[in-house]
Amino acid sequence: MKKLLLLTWLFLITFFSHAQPKYALVIHGGAGVMDRAKMSPAVQKEYTDVLNSALKVGDSVLRSGGTCLDAIEKTIMILENSPLFNAGKGAVLTNEGMAELDASIMEGAGLKAGAIAGVRDVKNPIRVARAVMEKSEHVMLSGTGASQFAKEKGYEIVDNSYFVTEPRLKSLQELQRKERETTQNDKHGTVGCCALDTYGNIAAGTSTGGMMNKRYGRIGDSPVIGAGTYANNATGAFSCTGHGEYYIRLGFARDISALIEYKSLTISQACQEEVKKLTRLGGTGGVIGIDKNGNIAMEFNTSGMFRGYITSDGKKEVAIFK
Ligand code: ASP
């Protein structure tokens, strides 16, 4: 009888853990100065519509048993293909009016990572970052070398004009006309995604055009593993957005992981702690994170961050302002 009970109990546990495999996904579309009063409801809706489509794609990949890397790649592609965000089409422009894209991805099971930096012709940088991780012996490729790698692996190449949109061109011209400090303006729109899949693995990815009016081949934090992106199954997966120079100096994403590993902070506590360090240093931005239990964090010190999450138990949120 005891044996029978035990068997039934085991069966139930196995059945339910398989019937309801847990997954979760969190995204950001950049942090920055966002004034509720200055963003019309129509514009807010344009943004939230794309964020919702991205969540929907990520959700369906995970629900059908796709890996966290599949979910991140597919989700970020939606955001890269939207002209609204500073990644892929609609990326901010360099001093010379070009798009130069950075992206990275990392998985938390084996600490494998891939990144590309300063590319001008790769349609979906996140895909090629993943290919660097899975199909090369390197972690980061840059510029023309990264483009050559993308071509050889069969990824879509486009003319730089594909990325350039009228609004970005206008804000570059405006910025240059006013000769403002480049780094304080128009910096939101980087995209990122962190996911927990039904196999219990987590990963993070980030894609960006960098900072408006950047020069001299400037590379930000987004393709730098440990700065803009980091993932470790033992701690969490993180994707950052904000003033990249500060994120590189703080080793931002890796430092959050260290806070969890060495100080046993929760994912939210660790992200809050790191954002405080950013504030003390004078930097602005935000971060999203997920851990292997599906806990989600979305922290920032700006007035807004495009963001959202979705979980296997039906929880969902999309938000813009603080
Ligand atoms: N972190 C990005 C960079 O510095 C920009 C951003 O997130 O808005 O390149």
- Please tell me the distance between residue 87's alpha carbon and the centre of ligand 1 in angstroms: 10
Pocket of ligand 1 contains residue 130 by CB under 6 Å: no
Nearest C-alpha neighbor of 113 from the set 9, 20, 238, 3? 238
Of the pLDDT bands very low, low, confident and very high (cuts 50, 70, 90), residue 14 is low
Q: What domains does the chain contain, in order, with CATH numbers?
A: 21-313 (3.60.20.30)
- Kindly tell me if the per-residue pLDDT of 1 is higher than 80: no
What does the pLDDT look like over 105-135, one tens digit per residue?
Answer: 999 999 999 999 999 999 999 999 999 999 9
Active site residue 190: yes
- Supply the residue whose CA is at minimum distance from atom 9 of ligand 1: 210
Pocket of ligand 1 contains residue 220 by CB under 6 Å: yes
Pocket of ligand 1 contains residue 211 by CB under 6 Å: yes
- Please tell me the distance between residue 221's alpha carbon and the centre of ligand 1 in angstroms: 7
Residue count (the chain):
322
- Kindly tell me if the per-residue pLDDT of 103 is higher than 90: yes
Pocket of ligand 1 contains residue 222 by CB under 6 Å: yes
H or E element, residue 32: strand 24-32
Pocket of ligand 1 contains residue 242 by CB under 6 Å: yes
Q: Would you say the C-alpha torsion 224, 228, 233, 234 has a positive or negative sign?
A: positive
What does the pLDDT look like over 252-296, one tens digit per residue?
Answer: 999 999 999 999 999 999 999 999 999 999 999 999 999 999 999
pLDDT top residue among 86 and 3: 86
- Supply the residue whose CA is at minimum distance from atom 4 of ligand 1: 244
The Cα–Cα gap between 239 and 105 comes to 9
Pairing verdict, β 112-119 and 140-142: parallel
Question: What is the average pLDDT across 194-207?
Answer: 98
Question: What is the average pLDDT across 17-45?
Answer: 90
Nearest C-alpha neighbor of 233 from the set 261, 214, 205? 261
Residue pair 104/224 in contact (Cβ under 8 Å)? The answer is yes
Q: What are phi and psi of 202, to 5 degrees?
A: -125, 155
- Supply the residue whose CA is at minimum distance from atom 7 of ligand 1: 241
- Please tell me the distance between residue 285's alpha carbon and the centre of ligand 1 in angstroms: 8
Span of 105-109, 180-184, 298-302 with lowest mean pLDDT: 180-184
Check residue 183 and give its pLDDT: 44
- Kindly tell me if the per-residue pLDDT of 99 is higher than 60: yes
Pocket of ligand 1 contains residue 118 by CB under 6 Å: no
- Written in H, E and C, the secondary structure of 242-260 is ECHHHHHHHCHHHHHHHHH
Check residue 16 and give its pLDDT: 53
What does the pLDDT look like over 188-197, one tens digit per residue?
Answer: 799 999 999 9
Q: Which of 102, 119, 221 is the pocket-test mutation for ligand 1 (most atoms within 8 Å of CB)?
A: 221
H or E element, residue 273: helix 267-281
The Cα–Cα gap between 229 and 252 comes to 8
Q: What are phi and psi of 163, to 5 degrees?
A: -80, -25
Q: Which of 104, 211, 248, 307 is the pocket-test mutation for ligand 1 (most atoms within 8 Å of CB)?
A: 211
- Please tell me the distance between residue 211's alpha carbon and the centre of ligand 1 in angstroms: 6
Pairing verdict, β 285-290 and 296-300: antiparallel
Candidate list 67, 94, 182, 190, residue with the active-site label: 190
What does the pLDDT look like over 230-247, one tens digit per residue?
Answer: 999 999 999 999 999 999
Q: Fill in the DSSP letter of residue 309.
A: E
Residue pair 257/233 in contact (Cβ under 8 Å)? The answer is no
- Please tell me the distance between residue 133's alpha carbon and the centre of ligand 1 in angstroms: 21
Check residue 98 and give its pLDDT: 97
- Please tell me the distance between residue 241's alpha carbon and the centre of ligand 1 in angstroms: 5
